[in-house]
Amino acid sequence: MAQVVLENIYQTFSSSIRVQANRYRLESDDHEQVSTSEGLMSSGAVLRRINLTINDGEFMVLVGPSGCGKSTLLRLIAGLESLTGGNIWIGETLVNGLPPKARDIAMVFQNYALYPHLKVYDNLAFGLRRMGEKLGENQDLISESNQDFSVMLKRFGEEALGVMTRSLKPGLRYRSAQEKAIAARVFAVARLLQIESLLDRYPKQLSGGQKQRVALGRAMARNPQVFLMDEPLSNLDAKLRTETRAQIVELQRQLGTTTIYVTHDQTEAMTMGSRIAVMNRGQIQQVAKPLELYNRPANQFVAEFIGSPPMNFLTVQFSAPLLIVHPLFRMTLPEQWGFNLKAYQEQSLILGVRPEHLKISCAAPRNLPVKVERMESLGHETLLSVRPYSRENGAFSLLQLRVPGEVSVSLGEKIWMAIAIDHIHLFDPQTELAIFPR
């Protein structure tokens, strides 16, 4: 296990595109000097100013929309992409120039990446055989630098004999000391993942969930310092995905291995990660524990991305001392908002409120009149899409409302919504940064 530190990571497009972008910029600026950071930005940076520390044994989740750079960042840590700028540390080692095999990491891919011509046992053992590992160690079985020629020749003969007899019945196979250690590790991992009965099958004979467990087992068998997982559950059905993510979390707790998990599903992120890094457009927006992201989002993007259905937003006007005014309602804020809102006197703010913090109520100046436009009944609850409306002010954007399943509402019905004042969020309309009560 090891700590992973990312220092000021930049990643851009190919060098040819970067050179063309810089050349165009130089010509357009009359050959003025362009700084390195400007050159990176002008080339269309995929990642910018990424600074993140993943603690030893932590389960860190990278979450964000498609194209935000989370998978690229994972591939940089794995060594599958060349780094444009910055440093990556795994433990005490700077790994910028190290190939993937020298970084002591194991990666689980979205498409499983199992060897179709190898049985499950051999898929699990493949990495161990290539690295010549002992059980519980991350080094060669015998250091070849300390061997004389006869010892090396004996080892080569044992390995060759093991390969030649591998397809025979178990009783006829030759197993060296190394192969016995590998077998012990494989069976231990198989028991942990409950796939002992699958060891003699080929990948084509497995279901999606079984393939995923084999892919996890192959990574676990090597006992690496860091696990990297790139959306490993995206190909599974909803029920199996729920079961497998719980299993991954439990396995990570048992092993204590530092894990970096990439997903675009915020539900996965909230239920799996000890901490979550929310990414957007190549930058980290916020790093925090799941409940902190939900209760205190740093900006409007995080507030909208975390939570399902997403947070609702309304433009309001702030007036002293603590009044916020919307064309259809007005309400007084609690006193703790006063200090941080002084600078927004008679200015617009973005009011955010989650669907679960709205409820059907009666007509009142502080409540919002809406019309029901869409309903999604889930049994225990109903999701309503409603639109604030008045003849004087016209139509507004749709809002999401979560109500208990037993509440009777019909399409086209006009209702009033009450906002839970203790659970609102306010954002600066220019910077989109959150404004917090004191």
pLDDT tens-digit readout, 103-136 = 999 999 888 889 999 999 999 998 888 765 444 4
Choice among 40-49, 211-220, 368-377, 427-436 with the minimum mean pLDDT: 40-49
Q: At what angle do helices 238-255 and 208-221 cross, to 10 degrees?
A: 10
Question: Average pLDDT of 291-303?
Answer: 96
**Residue 165: is its pLDDT beyond 90?**
no
Say what the pLDDT of residue 113 is.
87
Arithmetic mean of pLDDT over the chain:
84
Choice among 6-15, 48-57, 135-144, 226-235 with the minimum mean pLDDT: 135-144
What values do phi and psi take at 349, rounded to 5? Answer: -135, 160
What values do phi and psi take at 280, rounded to 5? Answer: -155, 130
Question: What whole-number percentage of the chain has pLDDT above 70?
Answer: 81
Do 258 and 2 meet the contact criterion of CB atoms below 8 Å apart? yes
- Residue 399: name the closest of 385, 413, 420 by CA: 385
Domains in the chain (CATH in brackets) are 309-435 (2.40.50.140)
Rg, the chain, Cα only = 28
Question: Average pLDDT of 10-32?
Answer: 51
Say what the pLDDT of residue 20 is.
44
Question: Average pLDDT of 191-214?
Answer: 91
Residues contacting 352, CB < 8 A, separation 6+: 300, 303, 311, 312, 313, 424, 425, 426, 427
**Residue 171: is its pLDDT beyond 90?**
no
Q: What is the pLDDT of residues 237-254, one digit of tens each?
A: 888 888 888 889 998 998
Choice among 128-132, 171-175, 190-194, 433-437 with the minimum mean pLDDT: 171-175
Say what the pLDDT of residue 42 is.
42
Choice among 12-16, 208-212, 429-433 with the minimum mean pLDDT: 12-16
Say what the pLDDT of residue 39 is.
43
pLDDT band at 37 (very low <50, low <70, confident <90, very high): very low
**Residue 55: is its pLDDT beyond 70?**
yes
Q: What is the pLDDT of residues 58-97, one digit of tens each?
A: 999 999 999 999 999 999 999 999 999 999 999 999 999 9
**Residue 27: is its pLDDT beyond 60?**
no
pLDDT band at 279 (very low <50, low <70, confident <90, very high): very high
**Residue 9: is its pLDDT beyond 60?**
yes
Question: Average pLDDT of 383-409?
Answer: 85
The tokens for 353 are 């409120």
Residues contacting 3, CB < 8 A, separation 6+: 53, 54, 55, 56, 89, 90, 91, 258
**Residue 265: is its pLDDT beyond 80?**
yes
Say what the pLDDT of residue 112 is.
85
* Distance in angstroms (rounded) separating the CA atoms of residues 91 and 5: 8
Say what the pLDDT of residue 17 is.
43
Q: Which amino acid is at 20?
A: Q
What values do phi and psi take at 147, rounded to 5? Answer: -100, 145
Do 353 and 424 meet the contact criterion of CB atoms below 8 Å apart? yes
**Residue 348: is its pLDDT beyond 60?**
yes
From the number of C-beta atoms within 10 Å of its C-beta (0-12, 13-18, 19+), residue 273 rates as buried
**Residue 152: is its pLDDT beyond 60?**
no
- Residue 86: name the closest of 122, 50, 40, 39 by CA: 50
**Higher-pLDDT residue of 143, 195:** 195
**Residue 406: is its pLDDT beyond 90?**
no
Say what the pLDDT of residue 150 is.
57
Question: Hey, is 395 helix, strand or coil?
Answer: strand
**Residue 196: is its pLDDT beyond 70?**
yes
**Higher-pLDDT residue of 155, 219:** 219
The DSSP secondary structure of 329-359, one letter per residue, reads EEEEPPGGGTGGGGGGTT-EEEEEE-GGGEE
